Amino acid sequence: MLSFHGAWRITVVSKSADFDQRVVVRTDYGDRVLPGRPGATLEVDLECWRLSLEHLLWGRSWQPNLRTVPGPVTEQNGLRSRLLTSNDCQWPGKPLDHPNLVVRLDQVVAAKAAQAAAPLPAATRSIRTSSTADYSTGLAHRRSTPAADRQPAADPSPGGRVPSPAAAAGAVAARVGEAEQQGE
């Protein structure tokens, strides 16, 4: 039994057997069965699941195939694929590598992060807004000042002057008064 992870599409490619064939996906939530008909598909998207190729001998129950050989994983145009060939049982004169059932598993490969990520435009200017409200009319006055045109409230360098809370409040009131006089 083979183990897989994630989303895969299972497709029956060919069947060359006298016995019925099937693909069984075993999960923690139960089994899913894909009949061994060429062209039949089943999509599985689980964190962990197991795959078994089986045959039905006349008058018996389903049995695991004698040998399942996974081929190499190939990747082309964003699609990862792998072929599984399986021999159901051994008969005199039958080659050991006779493929009674051939199944292909396909998985979409995520695009590389570097190709998918587009550069974001850089911010060129920031705007600070402030508002005062005229509660008698219910209207708010707004004033926008580009960041490049603002003056810092205090000199952040060592020994710089930091205004007191009362001085800062007075400066804000003065700016609001100026804005109201300019009709903004």
Q: Where are the domains of the chain?
A: 2-110, 127-182
Question: Please, are residues 71 and 83 in contact by the beta-carbon 8 Å criterion?
Answer: yes
The confidence score (pLDDT) of residue 157 equals 45
Rounded to the nearest angstrom, the gap between the alpha carbon of residue 104 and the centroid of all alpha carbons in its chain is: 23
Over its C-alpha atoms, the chain yields an Rg (Å, rounded) of 36
Q: What is the mean pLDDT of residues 111-129?
A: 50
Pairwise CA distance, residues 126 & 120, whole Å? 16
Q: What is the pTM of this model?
A: 0.57
**Predicted pLDDT of residue 12:** 95
Tokens 């998918």, residue? 116
Tens digit of each residue's pLDDT (9 = 90 or more) over 152-179: 544 444 554 555 555 556 665 666 566 5
> What is the CATH superfamily name and number for domain 2-110?
Calcium-mediated lectin (2.60.120.400)
